[in-house]
Amino acid sequence: MSERLSENFRRAEFACRCGCGAAEVDPALVSRLQDLRRRLGRPLVVTSGVRCAAHNAAVGGAQASEHLTGQGVDVRAVSPREKYEVVAEAMAAGFLRIGVGREFIHLGVSPSHPGTVLWLY
């Protein structure tokens, strides 16, 4: 499960937190995350990656969540400055679906979801 997906990301970081083993991540997501990490010049902590349907329901995820398809990820961002930096650089890295939560930023690449959106949780 520790398979390297890019220079700085491993499959295990994206694995469903329920322990079911779901960990298929869209290569486009990993590529943009790697670019985002380079732009920020610091590591990104994945707080929620791939989710199986049961875990997604348990955490209150949307029925069509990008986490279900490995096309969405939440990364830790706690302070207002950190959130601003992540959002600004995520847009520069080509993320079009960005959600801002209390202690995380959702980044999505799903072509089947509405693009160029920013929302608050």
pLDDT digits (tens, 9 = 90+) for 23-57: 999 999 999 999 999 999 999 999 999 999 999 99
- 54: which 2 tokens? 């049961």
Q: Give the pLDDT mean for 18-22.
A: 96
* pTM, rounded to two decimals: 0.95
Residue 114's pLDDT is: 84
Q: Is the dihedral of CA 44, 77, 41, 27 positive or negative?
A: positive
Residue 115's pLDDT is: 83
Residue 45 near residue 104 (C-beta atoms within 8 A): no
